[in-house]
Amino acid sequence: MSIYLDSAASTSLDPVVKEVMIEVMDSVYGNPSSTHTHGRASKAMLESARKQIAKAINALPSEIIFTSGGTESDNIAIKGLVKAYGLKRIITSKLEHHAVLHITEHLSKDLDLELIFLDCDKEGNLDLSQLENLLEEKGEETLVTLMHANNEIGNILDIKKVGLLCKNSGAYFHSDTVQSIGHFPVDVKDLHVHSMAGAAHKFHGPKGSGFLYVKKGTQMPALIEGGGQEREVRSGTENVWGIVGLAKALDIATEQMDSHTAHIKEVKQYMKEQLIEHIDDVQFNGMSADLENSLYTVLNVSFPPSEKNSMLLFALDLQKISVSGGSACSSGASQGSHVIAGIDGDSSRTSVRFSFSKENKKDEIDITIGKLKEILGLNVPV
């Protein structure tokens, strides 16, 4: 039996989504830019999916740009806003996903932009008073890019407050909402955000399919030049099958959000309780242990210093239990998590991110706790 506890990296493909995608693969294969019957069929499918996704976040269909996923969406938005408005300053945090950190660092060097990282407390909560003070000057020259839900420690940003700060100062606001879309209600009409990123594989859709929300009236130059697809922002033949899967997955996630949330919270709470009961000196990173004020899919656990936990991820993998130490995009790197380092985590301890989905059950948690105790040399039965 294998156990998958890494859904913050990627989720399983929902069987209903798979069925819908196969049906489309068998029947709709024309290029959506072609004007013949087969092309028009693909175009109709594409625009239907765009309407579905727009409805899920209360956006206009014209505000949805299809991409390959979160990294591309973040890059399009951040590069595009800086270029379109000649911005001179970027405010972000060191706890962001590398999709944001790397492009902001690159732009800072390449265009000689001022790059400012917000302070945070030991739990990873960003200093929004500092942001407010920074925006009192040069707001109209500033891009703020902050993620809604942290993929490693589960902290939730008060995205509405940040949006209001940006609106009042004339700053531009992009948010990486990859971890929150499909898991929390999102209403763009209630948020003062210029752009947001989403990815299907975070809510049981296909990998390689995502979208960028761009608020109506916001300029967004092309990142990829070519045939002018996707409002001339992202040229290239659209991944119609993947986009159909994206739309269906988001429909399911939206319709069943309450039941999925309740189930996942129950599993997460159970794991937290079992860890505290069976493993001495276990700690939790960021806000991830706060069930009501964190990303409910993530529990980031800090294990006490020990020679036995130095290879904990590898040892769990040998037991067919999949977890991670941080973002999957940097899992092959030798250094530890930049997020844990950013909140002054104890480098002598081993941090593991357990992340859950609607597929997980409590018996999987029991097995995982038992294997953890074996690896750590704690032989008391669960």
Given the structure tokens 């081993």, which residue do they identify?
Answer: 350
pLDDT score of 336:
72
Mean pLDDT confidence for 152-156: 97
**Domain match, 222 and 265 both:** no
pLDDT score of 347:
73
DSSP line for 116-165: EE--B-TT--B-HHHHHHHHTSSGGGEEEE--SB-TTT-BB--HHHHHHH
Which residues, in sequence order, are CB contacts of 334 under 8 Å at separation 6+? Answer: none
Q: How many CA atoms lie within 13 A of 165 on its CB side?
A: 25
pLDDT score of 377:
87
Chain segment 163-191, per-residue pLDDT in tens: 999 999 999 999 999 999 999 999 999 99
- From 209, 238, 255, the end of a domain falls on 255
**Domain match, 107 and 222 both:** yes
Residue 268 — pLDDT band, cuts 50, 70, 90?
A: very high
Q: Where are any strands of DSSP class E within the chain?
A: 3-4, 64-67, 89-92, 114-117, 142-145, 172-176, 195-199, 210-214, 283-284, 298-303, 321-322, 350-355
Task: Catalytic residue, from 164, 329, 341, 367: name it.
Answer: 329
CATH code at position 300: 3.90.1150.10
**Domain match, 231 and 340 both:** no
Which residues, in sequence order, are CB contacts of 122 under 8 Å at separation 6+? Answer: 343, 344
Q: List the 89-92 sheet strands across, edge first.
A: 64-67, 210-214, 195-199, 172-176, 142-145, 89-92, 114-117
In a domain? residue 199: yes
**Domain match, 214 and 290 both:** no
**Domain match, 319 and 221 both:** no
Task: Dig out the tokens for 182 from the structure.
Answer: 């499909």
Chain segment 226-265, per-residue pLDDT in tens: 999 999 999 999 999 999 999 999 999 999 999 999 999 9
- From 231, 255, 279, the end of a domain falls on 255
In a domain? residue 93: yes
Count of structural domains within the chain = 2
DSSP-derived letter for residue 326 is S
Chain segment 16-50, per-residue pLDDT in tens: 999 999 999 999 999 999 999 999 999 999 999 99
- pTM (two decimals): 0.94
**Domain match, 63 and 190 both:** yes
Helix (H, G, I), strand (E, B) or coil at 243: helix
**Domain match, 269 and 310 both:** yes
**Domain match, 160 and 114 both:** yes
In a domain? residue 380: no
CATH code at position 70: 3.40.640.10
Residue pair 202/11 in contact (Cβ under 8 Å)? The answer is yes
pLDDT score of 332:
42
In a domain? residue 276: yes
**Domain match, 281 and 175 both:** no
**Domain match, 199 and 279 both:** no
Residue pair 246/211 in contact (Cβ under 8 Å)? The answer is yes
Asked if pLDDT for residue 344 goes beyond 90, the answer is no
**Domain match, 274 and 337 both:** yes
Mean pLDDT confidence for 311-339: 78
Mean pLDDT confidence for 274-286: 96
pLDDT score of 345:
63
Give residue 296's domain range. 3-11+257-375
Residue pair 364/3 in contact (Cβ under 8 Å)? The answer is yes
Is 329 among the catalytic positions?
yes
pLDDT score of 328:
58
pLDDT score of 346:
72
- From 213, 231, 255, the end of a domain falls on 255
In a domain? residue 207: yes
